Amino acid sequence: MLVEGVPGVAKTLLVRSLAAALDLRMTRVQFTPDLMPGDVTGSLIYDAHSAEFSFRPGPVFTNLLLADEINRTPPKTQASLLEAMEERQVSTDGVTRPLPQPFMVIATQNPVEYEGTYPLPEAQLDRFLLKLVLPLPQRHEEVEVLRRHAHAFNPRDLAAAGVRAAAGPADLSAARAEVARVEVGPEVLGYIVDLVQATRTSPSVSLGVSPRGATALLATARAWAWLSGRSFVTPDDVKALAVPTLRHRLQLRAEAELEGVTPESVLGTVLNSVPVPR
């Protein structure tokens, strides 16, 4: 998952809270301009006692990797996560090492207009299942934030804040198995394909949703149906998850961006124009 928002809207706190609620081992990597790929995946270290090289695992060998401010590091280091995100493994010096299960990457990023940011390459954006945008809070929400801080809320002490483990790795595996049994009819499959193909022909889009994006929308719609207590997917499930699943997979034309077109507005047009199966 990719979480975007300006500094200070609690992106990191959100991910830390999720890890605590799911009882997952979390590792945080602060992505900076001088971070190297080996700092993420691990590297060979020479052992003077044995006179041999041994592999020292990097922080990617965890259950939940928090890639903090991922777009503040150059593309070379960003690309170090491509294999891990897609294959759930890391290959270094000709050796492939599997990652722990479950494994997920949640990355935070500042809007690309901010100074010192590097846009994520399309190949990496396409590997994120979801993109969430955290806006600045409304007045009443910000008042509530201040009220909690005024009553000794400590964002670094999640246990004192009341965050408890509600599930664990075994529960996640069981849930995934149940989601995989959610039925998807041929009409819904065709609806997903019609949606992603409509993004490819939009006049505002230079690069539409890939087949990987279509499979991602299928996965999120099935999960949403299961969370809603159903054993089958409806077109409404697809529509509910279309924007967070597809918004980061669209590349807009420069002239469309100058006119104020956004990926969300393109997807809104697509959702309104593609016939819904009944």
- Are residues 105 and 241 located together in one domain of the fold? no
- Are 96 and 196 in the same domain? no
The pLDDT score that the predictor gives to residue 115 is 65
Q: For position 53, what pLDDT does the model report?
A: 81
Please report, as a single letter, which amino acid is at residue 29: V
Supply the DSSP symbol for 248.
G
pLDDT recorded at residue 24 = 94
Q: What is the rounded CA–CA span in Å between residue 219 and residue 245? A: 10
Are 15 and 144 members of one domain? yes
Which of 154, 172, 192 marks a domain boundary?
154
Give the residue among 121, 22, 33 at the shortest CA–CA distance from 69.
33
pLDDT at 110: 82
Q: Averaged over 87-112, what is the pLDDT?
A: 89
pLDDT at 98: 94
User: Of 154, 169, 198, which marks where a domain is finished?
Assistant: 154
3 in any annotated domain: yes
Output the DSSP codes for 118-150.
-PPPHHHHTT-S-EEE-PPPPHHHHHHHHHHHH
**What pLDDT, in 10s, does the model give residues 200-258?**
999 999 999 999 999 999 999 999 999 999 999 999 999 999 999 999 999 999 999 89
pLDDT value, residue 93: 78
pLDDT of amino acid 261: 92
Number of domains in the chain: 2
**Mean local confidence (pLDDT), 93-104:** 90
The verdict on residue 256 lying in a domain is yes
Whether 191 maps to a domain, the answer reads: yes
88 φψ region: left (φ > 0), alpha (ψ -120 to 50), beta (else): left
Q: Which domain holds residue 101?
A: 1-154
In the predicted model, what is the mean pLDDT of residues 109-118?
A: 72
Say if 172 falls within a structural domain: no
pLDDT digits (tens, 9 = 90+) for 58-84: 999 999 999 998 988 888 888 888 899
Residue with tokens 């390459």: 121
The pLDDT score that the predictor gives to residue 130 is 96
Q: What's the mean pLDDT when you consider all of the chain?
A: 91
Q: Is 104 helix (H, G, I), strand (E, B) or coil?
A: strand
Percentage of residues of the chain with pLDDT beyond 90: 68
CA distance 235 to 278: 8
**Which CATH number is 185's domain given?**
1.10.8.80
Considering the domain architecture, whether residues 94 and 185 belong to the same structural domain is answered as no
Q: What is the pLDDT of residues 138-161, one digit of tens each?
A: 999 999 999 999 988 888 888 888
Within-domain flag for 136 = yes
Percentage of the chain exceeding pLDDT 70: 98
Judgement on whether residues 133 and 23 belong to the same structural domain of the protein: yes
Tell me what pLDDT residue 71 has: 86
CATH number for the domain spanning 95: value is: 3.40.50.300
Residues 66 and 127 in one domain: yes
